[in-house]
Amino acid sequence: MLGKVEVNGIVSHSVFRYLKNELSSLLGRRIKRNLTKFLIGSDDKPLNCFAPFTTPERMEAKILTAFES
């Protein structure tokens, strides 16, 4: 099992610092809620993020576009 990590603040995990930096126009400076979803491309670059309440159906088009590229 994975342990708890911080997603915001000075002690935030490096993965979340990277995601926030790469997707700052979508996220702002903070991850606002638990269960925020991230779409990562085949080149390991973050493509998009989705709010916790976003349904799979609303993410489908962006996921399919990521598969095609």
DSSP letter string over 26-60? HHTTS--STT-EEEE-TTS-EEEEE-TT--HHHHH
Q: For the chain, what is the domain count?
A: 1
Tell me the residue range of the domain where 58 lies: 14-68
* pLDDT of 1: 61
Give the pLDDT score at 8: 94
- Report if residue 2 sits inside a domain: no
Domain for residue 38, yes or no? yes
Answer whether residue 45 is part of any domain. Answer: yes
Closest CA to 7 of 29, 22, 16: 16
Mean pLDDT in runs of 10 for the chain (69 residues)? 87 93 85 90 93 94 92
On whether residue 18 sits in a domain, the answer given is yes
